[in-house]
Structure 1
């Protein structure tokens, strides 16, 4: 058994209102698409067909698509966009499009994948999985890879929890994001400049769901805001903790327990001898620092009505 990826030539330039399924199927002769195959298509052509091409300033569209800033380095903004994806420029793309225009991500990539899967089933009478892809960078790694931002009829995550390897070791947290792996594998065949916006991956029919079962979609791969260990960039985390705006709490995650808070204060050189969150002693010159550390860990100081160096803290729900 093996995996075969076919990325056909011949898909025309897609414009708003075009029948995307018809354009893709025209480039895939009968036999090139069978039950158990996975049809992979770039988000750009999906967006073009759905009329997500806009004129105007790219930076203004990035603002419009952004939910919150994650990190900034010079002109580059890493943001969490309206789909919950964390990526550069909110996924707003000005490449392979007429000058003065930009392409926004689909409004609902999972819904786009479902519609395409339905159209393929109706016109070719085959049961396929569908993946909608986009390009994203990776924390700690140079370069970019394609990821799945939409999916239908596909198991997007393959859990190995509870299975045992050849040495008898139980796998506890191994869960390959197979939808992302498919997106990256297919991009090798498509190429960035190959004008091949779709491809078919054959060889993993076990991942394709039964007809009429679309599955959880690619959105299920997105961690909720606050569940990620890296909700802010290093510099932005400092700024947000110092500013201490209530709306900035969520990306720091749920409050730690009292033991972890006391440990964090000690590691920051504050209240080294504290034994509990309601028994913190620090000098007045470190009071502001204590509040900053507490904010980043989901706690806040409790006014006592007394002026001194004894502090008490309580957890705050984001």
Structure 2
């Protein structure tokens, strides 16, 4: 049982470019900061650096909006090219709306990876390019696994990797980091069948470990700080073959669908 953990934003990470060796860049930054990974450490890394390294940036000048995109753009006062990118990243639009006090409306979408988010996680900020949109990696779990394997081989230890993105939450203000890709880190910890401190059996308790880790990383990362990676140390966890999809609620359990 972990009684304390440490979270350290990794300094000295340069701007990542398409085709960069992310494992080498992060490994070098860890060594330079005297943060050489130890067995059981978890690297928590923002989606943006994966997307940049994998070329997931789309110049909007190359996007031809569909008729569906044009309709949403008119309704929501959005750039039709960005709407088209959102639609391409989505399996369905759950809802779209624009409040009178908003300049631009929002599309709540089911992403092709299965989660529900605003604008299918398509982003236009904090990646250093104008008139472009950033999308998520095609396979966040695979991206995490490649990185974890390279770093584990370099340092001769086993670590975990969590890829994060920033989501809003229904009925709550603000945004938090959540996990969208995993390598070896459990998505949840199943407590069903255990007992609480008073000996009562636990029937439904299942902490969302990957999202707790992702959210905690946000405590030491600033949007203007260029620190997209956080080293988590001291957590008691057991590696397993996990996936970001493991945190998604099954559709037959969705009371709001």
Q: CA deviation at 1:227?
A: 2.7
Equivalent position of 2:94 in the other structure: 70
Mapping of 1:49-198 within 5 angstroms? 49-56=53-60, 57-74=81-98, 75-97=105-127, 98-198=129-229
Query: 1:186–1:79: structure 2 CA closer, same or farther, 3 Å change rule?
Result: same
Q: CA deviation at 1:207?
A: 1.6
The number of equivalent residue pairs is 226
Task: Check conservation: 1:42, 1:133, Cα contact below 8 A.
Answer: yes
Q: 8, 14, 18: which one pairs with 1:6?
A: 8
CA distance in 1 between counterparts of 2:35 and 2:18 reads 29
Equivalent position of 1:20 in the other structure: 22
Secondary structure of 2:30's counterpart equals coil
Q: CA deviation at 1:31?
A: 4.6
Equivalent position of 1:45 in the other structure: 49
Query: 1:48–1:66: structure 2 CA closer, same or farther, 3 Å change rule?
Result: same
Query: 1:201–1:71: structure 2 CA closer, same or farther, 3 Å change rule?
Result: same
Secondary structure of 2:91's counterpart equals strand
Equivalent position of 2:241 in the other structure: 215
Secondary structure of 2:165's counterpart equals strand
CA distance in 1 between counterparts of 2:200 and 2:253 reads 28
Secondary structure of 1:95's counterpart equals coil
Q: CA deviation at 1:69?
A: 1.2
Q: CA deviation at 1:224?
A: 3.0
CA distance in 1 between counterparts of 2:250 and 2:137 reads 20
Equivalent position of 2:65 in the other structure: none
Q: CA deviation at 1:12?
A: 0.5
Task: Normalising by structure 2, report the TM-score.
Answer: 0.85
CA distance in 1 between counterparts of 2:14 and 2:95 reads 37
CA distance in 2 between counterparts of 1:7 and 1:32 reads 13
The C-alpha deviation readout for 1:19-66, integer Å capped at 9, x for no partner, is 011111111125531100001111110011011111113221001111
**Which structure's CA Rg is the greater one?**
1
Task: Check conservation: 1:6, 1:199, Cα contact below 8 A.
Answer: yes
Task: Check conservation: 1:128, 1:208, Cα contact below 8 A.
Answer: no
Task: Check conservation: 2:126, 2:223, Cα contact below 8 A.
Answer: no
The C-alpha deviation readout for 1:230-269, integer Å capped at 9, x for no partner, is 22xxxxxxxxxxxxxxxxxxxxxxxxxxxxxxxxxxxxxx
Gaps of 5+ in 1: 232-318
Gaps of 5+ in 2: 61-80, 99-104
Secondary structure of 2:108's counterpart equals strand
Q: CA deviation at 1:168?
A: 1.9
Task: Normalising by structure 1, report the TM-score.
Answer: 0.69
Aligned-residue CA RMSD (Å): 1.3
